[in-house]
Chain A
């Protein structure tokens, strides 16, 4: 059925290497997204009209533009418009961070908005000052709400990185195609085995993470 191709030479190792390339891009993008997203989310809760307006436009752009379109714009458009020669990898990190930051900021904004005013008032009446209120009351609650959702963002980021093959990054699907091409004669059915393996690999990468997020969500729900 074409699985035998993976046992030849270092094909299995190459396929895993391709997956790691995709995982590396998603990891970098997630870290950038979380940092920028938290900053932006907090900034938006200040309710300055200009910030809010820009934020709404940014959010709606990310909501309706497919990531692949953004990837094309940054990768092909930047060369043409700005004369920059971005590598495919930096283009994809820029796009995924742009997308992830919006998602993350909205999560932060949503969780901050979900904390009832009574929490602030109670803290104040108990003699907490502004900093203490955030330090001991608000932030711990936000973090509990945020962590499962941020972990979900990681799995979505991993799934989205499969798109980078479309702008020429050699990741797991591309390596799969190369293996199939190279063994066209000796194992004509390689496409089934290789793509089934890629399917399972992605599942193995994402399933434990989303299970963990679900577990934390259950554990911390009150």
Chain B
């Protein structure tokens, strides 16, 4: 007991000190290190040359160019994105992270840079399934761990009797839906559509039911995650985002990936 106690207190006390310390020194941003997952096509993925690509990687590059700062990209597992940000492994997260109150307690966000609802996907044989909490009672539903979809399932569908399975990556959940381990997946609309239409095993499955976007669970759009102390970085990125929105650069990147606006 006492070790964890001492450790927790030590970390807490030191964290307060460090927060004071970092607040004092405002630094000038010349290079921004950006963390992303690289497993969430078409928003972020790793290409065959092991480079990060995708909608939000292009967007981040455009913002950096606009603000005349250089950008470095770091791939990091989804579950580790926030801890690694807090540990200083990079300065901003561009990884389709929804702006939620829970996360706001720990990190700051830029303004939203796109909006995307969630939806249910099931096997074609189950196309008649209505994705209401009552109808899904007794079913096994999957989602990526730590996402807004995961939280929605845990808070609305699990109490109604569904079994919720959480996966480290979205792709592992997709694999289990295709093999019949899952009855359904709740996931980001554009990511799920991308899988259904473009992958080899996506043909197994189809969308059922409506879009889900209740802000109480699904947040206020997707933004870049930042450390709370870096107010100057938030100002810089918000400013850059406004500029690429105004210049039409955002629309150009949007059109490269989607035939409609996702802002």
- A interacts with B: no
**Which residues of B are interface residues toward A (Cβ below 8 A)?**
none
**Which residues of A are interface residues toward B (Cβ below 8 A)?**
none
